[in-house]
Amino acid sequence: MPLLTNSPEKKTWLHVPANSDFPIQNIPFGVFLTRDDIITIGTRIGDYAIDLGALHQLGYFKGIPLTEDIFLQDTLNDFISDGKKTWRLVRNRISEIFDIKNEQLKNNESHKNIVLFTLDEIEMQLPVHIGDYTDFYSSKEHATNVGKMFRDPENALLPNWLHIPVGYHGRSSSIVPSNTPIRRPMGQTMPQGATQPVFGPSNAVDFELEMAFITTDANLLGEQISVAEAENYIFGMVLFNDWSARDIQKWEYVPLGPFLAKNFASSISPWIVTLDALEPFRVASPKQNPEPLPYLQQTGKRGFDINLEVSITPEGAAPTIVSKSNFKHMYWTMAQQLAHHTVNGCNVNSGDMMGSGTISGPTPDSYGSMLEITWGGTKPIVLSDGSSRTYIEDQDTVTFTGYCSKNGSRIGFGEVSTKLLPVNQNKKK
């Protein structure tokens, strides 16, 4: 199935603002609630959300093998299960329908009224039911920074790190879409110098700048996916804020890893950008030394050049950019992560999500967490309203944006933006 959507010359009859993350070359997938309170699967071009359920009912996907209700669902899981060939057929068709030279829908006002929504008419939902969520730890800079702070500055990387894309399982239930406020967690901590743990609100709520990929049904229990095949099972990517409570994490995490420090909430951007749309922005990933074991060896460009930015917006104030990083820094690639995840026969399903781990660059202004930016809280930063931060304060909004850019073409992810509310001390009634 040829990829027909990426030509930078292609233009659409819909208005696309300059520097939009969503030109006709993007065609991401998401789930939204419409002005009529109907949940549907859709895509986005410029500032229009497009109801794919309605387009399909109107016959615009004729000839593509799709079940009738494939887009009239509250998650993308079934569509993702249809596989890469179908994703391409659908994106190619959407690209045709909205091509500036195609007047079929453009000149049909009644169809346009049914199919097109402005962004204020819709409410974005979680795009997939996430069966299992895994988080990796694949930025060498981040792992090194954490190792320097918490373990041994001289041997910051643990011995396994250069051999394994280290990862662990996370909580699916508490993953929420952008614009869903979250609450500061309560928890047990051991304050510096104390001999008894205490219970109270976390004093160290942090973001982690990550991206995550969403898989299709990759393998049955007992089967392995090779590095070479892995990307065929990746539907697309989102921005991902792996909220972390550092004080809870520090006390609880030995020996089985982070738990309540992470599972109070994680936030993702609502539009899944396909790997096909990201194709023009491939780059070589960092050279790996030592060479990994054969089951992790890869050829070709497996990294992606995705600019990332983090801002903090206090209540009523202007945003302050606190980090500029890039997904290309990741030492372990998505292909290696997925191959490693399945090498023991672990089965991966449609809608599973795998986080990259915090994406830190080489310099302090590219670090992907407040833990690193303020070096464990020792170097507070000053925001544009004059207030200072070591970690995130109540009523702060943390926003990640991400986009690829090359020769005037731009493909972006929109944003994941989340407000931190104060603790909820009420028990369930």
Known binding site for Ca(2+): residues? 135, 208, 210, 242
Nearest to 93 by CA among 114, 66, 113: 66
Amino acid identity, position 26: N
Residues 199-218 that bind a copy of itself (CB under 8 A): 199, 202, 218
Rule CB under 8 A: say whether 245 interacts with a copy of itself: yes
Residue 10 touches a copy of itself, criterion: CB under 8 A: no
Asked if 390 and 377 touch (Cβ cutoff 8 Å), the reply is yes
Member of 83, 99, 253, 377 binding a copy of itself (CB under 8 A): 253
Q: Are strands 409-421 and 182-183 parallel, antiparallel or unpaired?
A: parallel
Site for a copy of itself in 59-118 (CB under 8 A): none
Residues forming the active site: 142
- Which phi and psi (to 5°) does residue 68 adopt? -60, -35
56 or 140, CB closer to a copy of itself? 140
**Helix or strand or coil: residue 272?**
strand
Using CB under 8 A as the binding rule, whether residue 319 contacts a copy of itself is answered as no
How many other C-beta atoms lie within 10 A of the C-beta of residue 418? 26
Q: Which stretch binds a copy of itself (CB under 8 A): 67-75, 303-311, 335-343, 394-402?
A: 335-343
299 near a copy of itself (CB under 8 A) = no
Do 421 and 258 touch, CB atoms closer than 8 A?
no
Q: Does 284 bind a copy of itself (CB under 8 A)?
A: no
**372 three-state secondary structure:** helix
Spatial distance between the Cα atoms of 359 and 208, rounded to a whole number of angstroms:
8
Contact residue for a copy of itself among 88, 340, 410, 419 (CB under 8 A): 340
Minimal distance, residue 57 CB to a copy of itself, in Å: 27
Instruction: Looking at 101-139, list the stretches that DSSP marks H as alpha helix, in order from N- to C-terminal side.
Output: 109-115
Residue 152, C-beta contacts closer than 8 angstroms, at least 6 positions apart: none
Scan residues 344-383 and list those touching a copy of itself (CB under 8 A). Answer: 344-349, 352
Would you count residue 131 as binding a copy of itself (CB under 8 A)? yes
- CB 263 to a copy of itself: min, Å: 4
What does the alpha-carbon distance between residue 330 and residue 148 come to, in Å, rounded to a whole number? Answer: 19
CB of 222 to a copy of itself, least distance (A): 4
Task: Based on the shown chain and the rule CB under 8 A, indicate whether residue 186 belongs to the binding site for a copy of itself.
Answer: yes
Q: Residue 325: how many CB atoms within 10 A of its CB?
A: 27
263 binds a copy of itself (CB under 8 A): yes
Residue number, 289 or 407, with CB nearest to a copy of itself? 289
